[in-house]
Structure 1
Amino acid sequence: MAASAGCGKAATLATGVQKLTVQGKTRQYTLQLPANYDPSHPYRVIFGWHGANDNMDTTVKGSLVQPPGSFRYFGLEKQSNNTAILVAPDALNKAWYNRNNEDYSFYDAMLAQLSAGLCVDDHQIFSIGFSHGGAFVKALSCKRDTLRGVIILDGGGPIDGSTGCSDDPIGAMVVHGVNDGIAGGRATRDLYVQRNGCTGPASAKEPAVNSRAPHILTEYQGCKEGYPVWFVAFDGQHWMAPFDGGSGNNGDKTFTPGIAWRFITQFT
């Protein structure tokens, strides 16, 4: 653990909407603390980045997924069960365009505020994102070394920041539908496989398109110690909460939160 400056002190932040000024612009995010927050316990932090044309409320409420409330914070509210600090950043103009690196700076400012005002484990910072949010998480993982691991849900290929990407290893999980431009998902996975020095397998198995077959999780071998790469291929399209044998999003049946939480909690 790496206890932040906010440990051992009264919290200066509370659950709810927080505001920051970043590069002269007002930015906001929604913060959720564990119900019995302990200022002496360093918590892992999970940032959840929404897709394009959405906002932080989509992450907080899980409003793109039925039934209501089943996919709050990408389903990680339920999985974490009051053991993590959850953060839902809000994009400018509903997309992560990162003009003049303003979204990188936004991440830096949020993390600095959290570390100063709360008891945070600075070695347990994670990001999960869907679609355009997933693409931004991928870019962020190339430009910032404060993240321990990232989870990318249908985030496309290795663009949006991969040029000049850091060679430092980082834990990564890529989830992609085989009927959603799977070549991009494979390329993103391969970016992390190379970055983390993984040796195999030579190819990851995938369910066939429209087969209704279960998702397939491949955990790569030979990666640098402590820097795993997981790849989850599912029979489906551009869905953040896919479920086996069906189509669309379902927060009660989806496999993504459980796998994501297992990925996150392996870092101890």
Structure 2
Amino acid sequence: MRARSLLLALVVVSLALSGCAGPAASVDGAGVLVTASRDGGSAGAATIAAAGQAGTSGATGTSGCGSDATPAGSSSTRSVSVAGVTRTAQLHVPNGYDGSTPTPVILAFVGHGMSTQKLEGFSGFDDSDAIVFYPQPAGSAPQNGWESAPYASGQDDVAFVGALLDDLEAHLCVHTARVFAAGISNGGGFVSLLSCRLPARIAAFAVVSGAIYPADDPACPTVPAVPVVEFHGTADPVIPYDGGTSHAAALEPVTQWLDEQAQRSGCASSPTRTAIGSDVTEQQWCGCQGRGALTHYRIEGGGHTWPGATATSGPGVTTQTISATRIIEDFFAAHPLS
């Protein structure tokens, strides 16, 4: 399978930075998700992969460029020490990796109690042209969650991510303007926290069925705006769309969290809404300031799942109307740091 590209043509970047969060999603006559530009033209993955090569000339490479001999298409385990604790992450290098071309990075964060192998399987990120890191949470059950939740291990997970990136940049050829973070459930809540804590190092953020505990992951209205895309099912049995209580702690309603993101990024107070198929509504906030961008996919009847996944990703209904993976990759491609 040809690697999906996270590099983007400059014309698409200019559209994405003009105020809305980039191309809207739609479904073609065969029920297949495509991305459509605002002028009605098509901007599919193959177009992005080909035209995106123009964006590589300005790539910001790291000290690992030219000296890394990691085999293309390989997977391995990397370890770093943080405050005397050894932490690990699963690493996958794309098929086209040559050790000298600055390459995008996706940090993919598991949900509470989920294995990194499971997320690797249903997300399909390994088929992108990015280096993919699947970090492992610390601790033991039940306190083995990511920082940002009441069941967190107590370790400094933000420092862990920083150490992972330091190690990665020292040993592999990384495009430092194209480092991205995505996560599901507790991993999605941690991605929300990272958007507040590492906005100058991670370019864009994707949250799927995010577990947002405001006591552990408060809003950060004074932190610079960042690009965020979010997916959530209205019938999520684990993290209810309208909020509630879990692990004896309050969960934030999705709409409230989105309002906070819009205010942080100086976006319009209300989004534009586009129906995609019969069960998905895309919401985009326009007029965002700086690097800000915000898109939400409301999935009617959707469960605590990864949209488009063909393997089990969680309880409840998994919509096949959209592919979270493809939307996330397109969103990331449209929002580099520079």
Q: CA deviation at 1:242?
A: 5.3
Aligned pairs for 1:1-268 (under 5 A) are: 1-11=59-69, 15-60=75-120, 62=121, 71=122, 74-78=123-127, 80=128, 83-92=129-138, 93=140, 94-97=144-147, 102-145=156-199, 146-157=201-212, 159=214, 160-162=216-218, 167-180=223-236, 181-183=240-242, 184-200=253-269, 202-203=270-271, 205=273, 213-235=278-300, 236-241=302-307, 248-249=317-318, 254-267=322-335
| Whole-angstrom distance in 2 between the partners of 1:254 and 1:4 | 35
1:101-154 CA deviation, whole Å, 9 max, x = no partner?
521111011000011101111111111100111011101111113111000011
TM score, norm. by length of structure 1: 0.82
Q: CA deviation at 1:176?
A: 1.0
Q: CA deviation at 1:267?
A: 2.5
| Whole-angstrom distance in 2 between the partners of 1:4 and 1:215 | 40
Q: CA contact under 8 A between 1:77 and 1:86: conserved in structure 2?
A: yes
| Whole-angstrom distance in 2 between the partners of 1:49 and 1:20 | 17
- Are residues 75 and 217 of structure 1, via their aligned partners in 2, closer, same or farther at CA, if it must alter by over 3 Å? farther
Q: CA contact under 8 A between 1:158 and 1:188: conserved in structure 2?
A: no
**Which secondary structure state, in structure 2, belongs to the residue aligned with residue 182 of structure 1?**
coil
1:137-175 CA deviation, whole Å, 9 max, x = no partner?
101111113111000011144623325565211110011
- Are residues 192 and 57 of structure 1, via their aligned partners in 2, closer, same or farther at CA, if it must alter by over 3 Å? same
- Are residues 75 and 189 of structure 1, via their aligned partners in 2, closer, same or farther at CA, if it must alter by over 3 Å? farther
- Are residues 163 and 234 of structure 1, via their aligned partners in 2, closer, same or farther at CA, if it must alter by over 3 Å? closer
Residue identity in the other structure for 2:305? W
TM score, norm. by length of structure 2: 0.66
| Whole-angstrom distance in 2 between the partners of 1:101 and 1:223 | 34
Unaligned runs of 5+ in 2: 1-58, 243-252, 310-315
- Compute the RMSD of aligned alpha carbons: 2.5
Q: CA contact under 8 A between 1:44 and 1:124: conserved in structure 2?
A: yes
Q: CA deviation at 1:35?
A: 1.8
Residue identity in the other structure for 1:5? S
Q: CA contact under 8 A between 2:89 and 2:135: conserved in structure 1?
A: yes
**Which secondary structure state, in structure 2, belongs to the residue aligned with residue 155 of structure 1?**
coil
Unaligned runs of 5+ in 1: 63-70
- Are residues 216 and 249 of structure 1, via their aligned partners in 2, closer, same or farther at CA, if it must alter by over 3 Å? same
Residue identity in the other structure for 1:35? N
Q: CA contact under 8 A between 1:54 and 1:95: conserved in structure 2?
A: no
| Whole-angstrom distance in 2 between the partners of 1:133 and 1:38 | 30
| Whole-angstrom distance in 1 between the partners of 2:131 and 2:221 | 28
Structure 1, 222-231 or 154-163: larger mean CA deviation: 154-163
Percent identity between the aligned chains? Answer: 25
- Are residues 254 and 16 of structure 1, via their aligned partners in 2, closer, same or farther at CA, if it must alter by over 3 Å? farther
Q: CA deviation at 1:221?
A: 0.7
Q: CA contact under 8 A between 1:55 and 1:91: conserved in structure 2?
A: no
Structure 1, 51-60 or 10-19: larger mean CA deviation: 10-19
1:160-197 CA deviation, whole Å, 9 max, x = no partner?
33255652111100111122322322222222211111
Q: CA deviation at 1:99?
A: 5.4
Structure 1, 160-169 or 36-45: larger mean CA deviation: 160-169
Q: CA deviation at 1:11?
A: 4.0
Q: CA contact under 8 A between 1:142 and 1:166: conserved in structure 2?
A: no
- Are residues 257 and 12 of structure 1, via their aligned partners in 2, closer, same or farther at CA, if it must alter by over 3 Å? closer
Q: CA contact under 8 A between 1:135 and 1:156: conserved in structure 2?
A: yes
1:18-63 CA deviation, whole Å, 9 max, x = no partner?
1122111121100001123122211110011000012322222x2x
| Whole-angstrom distance in 2 between the partners of 1:239 and 1:225 | 31
